[in-house]
Structure 1
Amino acid sequence: MPPRRPPARRPAPPDHGLDLFDERPPPPRPRRPRQPPPDESPTEIIHLEDDYEYDDYDDYPENADEERAEPEYIEPPDDGEPVETRRKRKPLRWLVALVVLALIGGGAWYGIDAVFGYDDFEGSGESDVLIEISAGDSTGAIGQELAGAGVVASAKAFVKASEDNSKVLSLQPGYYVVKTKMSGAAAVAKLTQDGSRVGVLQVRAGTQLDDITQPDGTVTPGVFTLLSKASCAQLNGQSTCIPVEQLRDTAAKADLAALGAPDWAVPVVSGSTDARRIEGLVAPGVYDVKPGWSAEELLGYVLKTSATRIQAAGLTASSKFQGRSPYETLIVASLIEREGVKQDFENIGQVIYNRLAQNMRLQLDSTVNYLLDKPVVTTTDDDRNRPGPYNTYKIPGLPPTPISSPSPEAIQAAEEPTQGTYVYFVKCEKNGLSCFASDLPEHEQNKTLARQRGAY
């Protein structure tokens, strides 16, 4: 193997003295790794007679540097621009670069400000305003609602203030009284304080339209009173309350179809001018009504929502049991609701349908007490002898209207009662459970048992 020989260095070009006028620095001389010279003849192999071994650069031959190739200097393209012009352009380029950097930095700061900065009002606000929180609204969605109503300066002001108040996460859907131009913190505090939510109407199963006076003298509010209270709010010193009498007058005279009552109920009750004609058409549940609505708007919202709930409970225009119409089924459901507890609903339905089928008078104390606005399930002789369309001791068949707001369970029991021979029942337990009988002697025994147990 032939020894490696360092490449020869090319002699430097002659100095003609022209570099005095050339301000360009000489190009750097790159160091090239020692390697054997390229084989210039691909077909001929040259064998060297002498072997060279060099341990140090000092042992190189004297002409080694002369034989090493010198990198060739390449002239830059001449675009005809004077050197002095290029010199003047350098500061301009630096200036442009600084401007670009300033613009980039300003854009970055604007982006940071857009993400982390936000507008916010100061203080606790100015004038009252109602806002609505919908089911499933996030904190950001509530902030957007507030910002759109002019309550807060930006949604982010509310979101940031909410981070320190966990009560925001438990806000219920509905209407709230707040003020315009509130700080984010003030808006959070206002929404989460007691009394800010307004327009809440809660109707329990078995509630009737008018108030009921309890045996101890206390009054249980009916639907009209509950709706009147739900309509109330104080907005900038003005009350939005709709009086009970105005609600009753609207219920008696308004177009029920326009208010949203079920189609199958409208033909039956439209001819009446009694406010009780909408009895039973208000389904149990919670309603969010807006303070400031008129009586027509309030009743319309409640009846439309109720029609949907009644249908969801299974009572539709095609519902029929033993040839009874949907409205008659609703009446039966209201009787079941007022006469017993849920465990007995299906059996009470059996009793009612068996009595109707046998042309027996229903003889229900709940119907007698309906006109008397009494909640008890017992009656006196005077009560039972008092004439009237709801006295089922005197009048055969069903009463003209429902007597309460039946629950979905009562509606289901009216559509699917148990099958049997029961025609009597009496409350025989203090917890409200009833005892059922197929004949009068058995029924009398149950009544005696009920008295012994102190059921009534």
Structure 2
Amino acid sequence: MSDDLGLFTDPDVDERRPLKRDRERDRARAKAKKRKKTVLWLVVAMVLTVGLGGAYYGYRELRSIGSYEDYAGSGEADKIVEVKDGDVISQIAATLYDNDVVASAGAFIAASQTDARVLSTQPGFYLMKTKMSGAEAVARMIDPKTRVPAVQIIGGTKLSDIKAGDKTVPGIYSLLAAASCTEKDGQKTCLSADEVKAAAEQTDPVALGVPDWALADVARAEPQYRLEGLIMRGVYQVKPGVSAVELLRSVIVSSAQKMQGFGIPGGTVNTGFRPYEVLVIASLIEKEAIEKDFTKVSQVIYNRLKKPMRLQFDSTINYKNNQPHIRTSDQDRNTPGPYNTYMSFGLTPTPIGSPSQQAIAAAMNPEGGEIIYFVKCHEKGDSCFATTFEEHNANDQKAQRDGVY
């Protein structure tokens, strides 16, 4: 029954007192509100946690922009700074500030707004100067000559130089030595290839950054060969002016990271070989074939090792003799030694050069099939493969008739 006129209201009951259902509704609302606050604080906490790195750089930027201090002039002493992969302008500015290149991050950030080219700054080392104005720092940063040239290692490169007549093919030690040069007050200083080589042969492999999976094999190898293959093909940013040990370590650690991304050691589990052995196989593939034949040469290696059958690769003999030739002499093939795969079974004690990503992939994933022979049969470097010696012999004779070798 409706009581719109209040005829049935109890005069002893306070009209302001809420009904039971109202009290329950209010309690429910209070609980919901509390839950919302809890969720909100959790979200805030997550944002703060995830954004901690960005907040740090933001703080460093703001602390300098607030004062906006700026040096005058083009700078004083030489200073090498590193721009890391993924660095944005605020991070570059903070690095310059921390190295006293600029008086404040804000000075560099403000100056960068006048030249968009600074947004395309590439990772690497830059030869800057201390106490530069923000404008001068930007101008120097975008100058191509400021960036220290990177070291490029091509597939098959050896640690030491290869001399062929009057020509010399620089090895990794020479390439690193050339990249080590720094100029201070007009005086150029460089490491020599011999200094890099000495550090490679005499320093504890752990101090050089040799990965755990390679330590035992490196320890067994002859000193002059022990780092072979551990610096794979690629481009390496090196800091000039550091010691030979630090120079080598930076490159070996970077190479090990590349290898890890390409499957060594993780992807070698089902190959039947240890990670270091896969690296050796990859180096042999790199030397013996062009890329289109990598997986087939890999299969030949697998099949020969399984029989077992000697690999009989000229490249391993030429590696030990430090020769650039494709073929070997009867005397070379009859000289015993662990790198003479015409006489010794199994793999060589170390890699014989720098493997590429493609060679590493082929070493872990051979073509398949029963092929056990191959010979260069085309001037472009293509190989002809065979499952029998008779077929191989025919391929070999045809290659000679065609003047391939």
Shorter-chain TM band: 0.7 to 0.9
For 2:384, give the aligned amino acid. C
In the TM superposition, what are the counterparts of 1:316-395 in structure 2 within 5 Å?
Answer: 316=265, 319-320=268-269, 323-395=272-344
Distance 2:65 2:226 in 1: 58
Q: Does the Cα contact within 8 Å between 2:267 and 2:364 map onto a contact in 1?
A: no
SS across alignment from 2:328: coil
* Higher RCO by CA contacts (8 Å cutoff, separation 6 or greater): 2
For 1:377, give the aligned amino acid. I
Greater fraction of residues in helix: 2
Task: State the partner residue of 1:149.
Answer: 99
Q: Confirm or deny that 1:195 pairs with 2:165.
A: no
Distance 2:223 2:400 in 1: 39
Output the aligned Cα RMSD: 2.5
Distance 2:404 2:125 in 1: 44
Q: CA deviation at 1:118?
A: 4.3
Q: Confirm or deny that 1:290 pairs with 2:206.
A: no
Q: Does the Cα contact within 8 Å between 2:65 and 2:106 map onto a contact in 1?
A: no
SS across alignment from 2:92: helix
Distance 1:225 1:132 in 2: 23
Are residues 195 and 214 of structure 1, via their aligned partners in 2, closer, same or farther at CA, if it must alter by over 3 Å? farther
For 1:333, give the aligned amino acid. A
Q: So what's the TM-score if we normalise by structure 1?
A: 0.69
SS across alignment from 2:250: helix
Show structure 2 runs of 5+ residues with no match.
1-63
Q: CA deviation at 1:288?
A: 1.9
SS across alignment from 1:257: coil
Distance 1:234 1:353 in 2: 50
Deviations 1:213-233 (A, max 9, x none): 357x43222111111122211
SS across alignment from 1:303: helix
Deviations 1:291-341 (A, max 9, x none): 232222222222222222222211227835664322222111110111111
SS across alignment from 1:319: helix
Task: State the partner residue of 1:176.
Answer: 126
Distance 2:84 2:115 in 1: 20
Distance 2:390 2:97 in 1: 72
Q: CA deviation at 1:199?
A: 6.2
For 2:155, give the aligned amino acid. A
Q: Confirm or deny that 1:268 pairs with 2:268.
A: no
Distance 2:212 2:346 in 1: 23
Task: State the partner residue of 2:350.
Answer: 401
Q: CA deviation at 1:117?
A: 9.3
Q: Does the Cα contact within 8 Å between 1:121 and 1:183 map onto a contact in 2?
A: yes
Q: CA deviation at 1:116?
A: 11
For 1:179, give the aligned amino acid. K
Distance 1:343 1:205 in 2: 14
In the TM superposition, what are the counterparts of 1:108-257 in structure 2 within 5 Å?
Answer: 118-198=68-148, 200-214=150-164, 217-257=166-206
Distance 1:428 1:293 in 2: 47
Q: CA deviation at 1:353?
A: 1.7
Q: CA deviation at 1:290?
A: 1.7
Of residues 383, 387, 390 in structure 2, which corresponds to 1:438? 387
Q: CA deviation at 1:278?
A: 1.1
Q: CA deviation at 1:359?
A: 2.7
Q: For the pair shown, which has the larger CA radius of gyration, 1 or 2?
A: 1
Q: Does the Cα contact within 8 Å between 2:221 and 2:349 map onto a contact in 1?
A: no
Distance 2:276 2:329 in 1: 30
Distance 1:337 1:273 in 2: 22
Deviations 1:3-38 (A, max 9, x none): xxxxxxxxxxxxxxxxxxxxxxxxxxxxxxxxxxxx
SS across alignment from 1:125: coil
Aligned residues: 342
Task: State the partner residue of 1:309.
Answer: 258
Q: Does the Cα contact within 8 Å between 1:198 and 1:232 map onto a contact in 2?
A: no
Are residues 139 and 339 of structure 1, via their aligned partners in 2, closer, same or farther at CA, if it must alter by over 3 Å? same
SS across alignment from 1:258: coil
Are residues 384 and 222 of structure 1, via their aligned partners in 2, closer, same or farther at CA, if it must alter by over 3 Å? same
Are residues 167 and 361 of structure 1, via their aligned partners in 2, closer, same or farther at CA, if it must alter by over 3 Å? same
Deviations 1:217-257 (A, max 9, x none): 43222111111122211123454522222222222222212
For 2:386, give the aligned amino acid. A
Q: CA deviation at 1:204?
A: 2.0
Distance 1:278 1:452 in 2: 40
Task: State the partner residue of 1:89.
Answer: none
Q: Confirm or deny that 1:451 pairs with 2:400.
A: yes
Task: State the partner residue of 2:45.
Answer: none
For 2:127, give the aligned amino acid. V
Distance 1:269 1:139 in 2: 42
Are residues 178 and 355 of structure 1, via their aligned partners in 2, closer, same or farther at CA, if it must alter by over 3 Å? same
For 1:196, give the aligned amino acid. T
Deviations 1:368-402 (A, max 9, x none): 11123333422233433344321212222211111
Q: Does the Cα contact within 8 Å between 1:320 and 1:415 map onto a contact in 2?
A: no
Are residues 439 and 273 of structure 1, via their aligned partners in 2, closer, same or farther at CA, if it must alter by over 3 Å? closer
Q: So what's the TM-score if we normalise by structure 2?
A: 0.77
